[in-house]
Structure 1
Amino acid sequence: MKEKIKGRIYQAIEEKVFPACAVGVVRKNGERIIVPAGRFTFDHSAPEINENSIFDTASITKSIPTSSLVLKLIDEGKLKAEDKLINFIPEFRNSNRENVLIKHLLTQILDYDFRLSEYKNEPPDKILKVIFTKEFKSRPGEKYFYTNATSILLGLVVERIFGESLDKLGEKYFFKPLQMKRTLFKPLKKFPKNEIVPTEIQEWRGGLIQGEVHDESAFALEKKMVVGSAGLFSTAPDLLNFLEMLLNNGSFNGKKYFSPKIINQIQTNQLVDIGQYAGLGWELNQPRYMGKHCREKTFGKTGFTGCVCVCDIEREVSFVILSNFTYPIRKPDAALINKFRSDIADIVFGNL
């Protein structure tokens, strides 16, 4: 399996899909392989990737730690999936404010029908006002619409219930006990730039983005808050620890993080009524990046920078891909990275 993965990574580097990549695979028993390859950039003198290279995981942040903290609250009875959003964020005031539930946020079924990146030049308070007041195109729960806004709202809910910021909560409840020592928001506070993989050369940001969140709306909002939609940086070994915990029904090294009930909700389709697939806090059964062997209970999360986590508890295996697909500039669509993701998934699930 390792040689097949390595060959596919080098093929992608050769095809200029990305210059840097780390793939990790973990089984329920803790057995793991990690394949780092490439360099920070396409320059032959750029630093080489190793298994401890830190990547911007982009929207993986939505599941780790944001949704995971929400699931922890639900597990402990401090929050219900059916609770109204306005119980925690009374400032939320579009005409559907009474009908927005926590489960709508966890499964991306709020039809915002706009891109937050359009507001990247606005101050944080203006961006939050848009999230709090923008009208939906359809009633909550009727249509799947993927947006950063839902996870930003979830992050605020989590912070208000716990009374601490999202970065500290992630560290306290997951990263520290799971020994994820190189996983954090704002990595330049702790690690030198030459350990963090760059994501894009962007005129709007004044050049190379390295060690700062790539996502535009998260970058704009970071002046005010830690953002639930993007901004987590991590490594392949660290994320494998989290995935190994999920494979073991919510336990890792004798410590319990989730109940079997919550683990079951993660891998159970919550959107049967609207003919879509999503688990609680995770995406579910998505062959476009989970490959041809993906099943109804296979769950995962992608990141725009070229990352993905995929977990299949029934088959006792998970994998992570970290890359800088957005370097040197973002591609017009996700076709190349989804082909790579699904090819890696086929190697992993096809070699069990």
Structure 2
Amino acid sequence: MRKWITGSIAAFLSLSLILPSSVSAETTIAKDRQQQTYPTLKKAKQPEEAGFSSEKLKQVDDLIEQDISKGFPGAALIIIKDGKIVKKEAYGYKQKYNGLNPLKHPRKMKTNTMFDLASNTKMYAVNFALQHLASSGKLDLNAKISRYIPEFKDRPEDIIKGKNRIRVIDLLHHTAGFPASWNYYDPNTAGRLYSQTREKTLSFLSKTPLAYEPGTKQLYSDVDYMLLGLVIEKITGQPLDHYTENRLYRPLGLRHTMFNPLKKGFKPAQFAATELMGNTRDGTVWFPNIRTYTLQGEVHDEKAFYSMEGISGHAGLFSTVDDMAVLLQVMLNGGGYGEERLFSKRIIAQFTKPSKTDATYGLGWRLNGNTDMEWMFGKHASSRAYGHTGWTGTVTIIDPAYQLGIVLLTNKKHSPVIDPAKNPNQFEGDLFSTGKYGSVITAVYEALNNQ
């Protein structure tokens, strides 16, 4: 009997050594899900319950409302601390214009208004998926991109070569060599990589030329995250929207976080409007099939809308402050929410570790690594704070040192372009303090009683 038991134990140990890491990791996650329950958000009866001053929080309202009175379009804000919703407010208007014409009766912003998250898509769709896949053992951050995308390789005509050595982690660090953007949707600039269909654009990602030798500098790039979205699709065998919505958001109970919401039962009136005349910058830009109407419920980003059919790793996600608060709490909880575990604390630590070349970058996440980031994190965030911004006017702050999360969603691009000829990308909304983020974030921290 003793020999049989000894032999069985030995066989089990031998088997465990040859099991693939993904099986072991999946088993661990399943076991932890059964054993651990994570905090879920509850509404604080009073801000003081979570260490905030009600009086000082009114100064946050005053700051945003002053901008609204001077012409800033609108915003929604949620603050969470210690697992409690401390504050949730809506300000201004979700729509003030129809084309270039001001509405006689602007439509008020609501706390359940859905926003185009722009580049916050990178964190709460792609990074969340990658963190989950890495925790499950299905993704090796140090693997070469060609492991997941076999066609990812240098081409004879490429002036700068090195794709054969680019790893997943290089895309996350924005050191892979790609340009900041590539306008696939515009034949005048895209050249042979012109595409307004998702399938063709996906095939063009691997053919996009490098702008510098990989690893020699750090350049924030949408192309990096378009490729990372494709990596997720290759690993999971699912489109990015199907995977993130069904595997990440729905298990968390989120019903307003998704790609292409107008195709999924939502109406334009439920969204904060963005650019006044499509992507024309008030009528000064043109390319084939360009939208000319006020955008509401359609992703603003040109690459995401025209070339990726609304589903891309760099932009395209919509959400509300309530749903975003849950995603922030997942990070503050160490990877889970309620009975759902998405990833491990170890993976979070790896993704939020400062880059060796730039302390303000983790793996995709922006970090409060030095005073250069005060514009985003304000004056009082801890050195452990991280988050991201989005071009449409969105910012998220996660500060583990305070167990604090801040989501400020604005539609600052729902305003006229100041000087289309001189700078077609600067809108009136960009000039307000609320649209610059830092002053609002500073005011939130100053409302903490221990500040």
TM-score (structure 2 length as normaliser): 0.72
Note the alpha carbon deviations across 1:127-152, whole angstroms, 9 max, x for none.
54653233333332331111211111
Preserved CA contact (<8 Å) 2:180 2:222: no
Match for 1:78: what amino acid?
Answer: K
Equivalent of 1:90 in 115, 134, 150: 150
Matches within 5 A, 1:153-192: 153-189=227-263, 190-192=265-267
The structure-2 alpha-carbon separation of the partners of 1:10 and 1:260, relative to structure 1 and needing over 3 Å to count, comes to same
Match of 1:4 in 2: 59
- The AA in structure 1 aligned to 2:90 is P
Provide the residue aligned with 2:292 in structure 1.
Answer: 206
Kept in 2: contact 1:199–1:210 (CA 8 A): yes
- Which residue matches 1:253? 338
Task: Find the structure with the greater CA-based Rg.
Answer: 2
Q: Distance in 2 between matches of 1:20 and 1:343?
A: 16
Structure 2: stretches of 5+ with no match in the other structure = 1-55, 97-102, 155-160, 188-193, 281-289, 418-424
Q: How does 1:291-306 map to 2 (within 5 A)?
A: 291-306=378-393
Cα displacement string for residues 189-216 of structure 1 (whole angstroms, at most 9, x for unaligned residues): 2211111111112334122111111001
- Secondary structure at the aligned position of 2:252 is classed as coil
* Paired residue type of 1:284: L
Aligned counterpart for 1:332 among listed residues 421, 426, 432: 426
In structure 1, what is the equivalent of residue 209 of structure 2? 135
2:59 & 2:396 partners in 1: Cα distance?
Answer: 19
Matched, 1:281 2:364: yes
Offset of residue 340 of structure 1: 3.7
Cα distance in structure 2, aligned partners of 1:341 and 1:157: 32
Q: Which residue of 1 aligns with 2:405?
A: 318
2:311 alignment counterpart: 226
Where does structure 1 lack aligned partners over 5 or more consecutive residues? Answer: none
Q: Which residue does 1:99 correspond to in 2?
A: 165
Answer yes or no: is the 8 Å Cα contact 1:66–1:151 preserved in 2.
Answer: yes
Q: Counterpart amino acid of 2:341? A: K
Equivalent residue, structure 2, for 1:196? 271
Query: 2:201–2:308: 8 Å Cα contact kept in structure 1?
Result: no
> Higher mean Cα deviation, 153-162 or 168-177?
168-177
Q: CA deviation at 1:161?
A: 0.5
Secondary structure, aligned partner of 1:154: helix
Equivalent residue for 2:442, pick from 332, 346, 349? 346
Q: Distance in 1 between matches of 2:180 and 2:318?
A: 26
Secondary structure at the aligned position of 1:22 is classed as strand
Q: Within 2, Cα distance between the matches of 1:338 and 1:6?
A: 11
Deviation at 1:187, TM superposition (A): 1.1
Match of 1:13 in 2: 68
Q: CA RMSD in A?
A: 2.1
After superposition, give the CA deviation of every residue in 1:186-243 in whole Å (9 maximum; x if it has no partner).
11122111111111123341221111110011112233x7211111111001100110
Q: Secondary structure, in 3 states, of the residue corresponding to 1:173?
A: helix
Identity %: 29
For the Cα contact (< 8 Å) 1:153–1:228, is it kept in 2? yes
What is the aligned residue count? Answer: 348
**DSSP-derived class of the 1:311 partner:** strand
Query: d(CA) in 1 for partners of 2:67 and 2:253?
Result: 31
Q: Deviations over 1:17-46 (max 9, x none)?
A: x31210111113233311111112334512
User: Contact between 1:5 and 1:35, CA under 8 Å: does it hold in 2?
Assistant: no
Moved more, 152-161 or 338-347: 338-347
For residue 145 of structure 1, what is the amino acid of its counterpart?
Answer: L
Residues 337, 119 of structure 1: alpha-carbon distance in 2 compared, 3 angstrom cutoff: farther
Match of 2:78 among 3, 21, 24: 24
Is contact 2:433–2:439 with CA below 8 Å preserved after alignment?
no
SS at match of 1:242: helix
Is 2:119 aligned against 1:59? yes
Cα 1:23/1:64, change in 2 over 3 Å: same
Contact 2:116 2:319 in 1 (8 A): yes
CA distance in 2, matches of 1:248, 1:44: 45
For residue 102 of structure 1, what is the amino acid of its counterpart?
Answer: V
Question: Post-superposition shift, 1:294?
Answer: 2.9
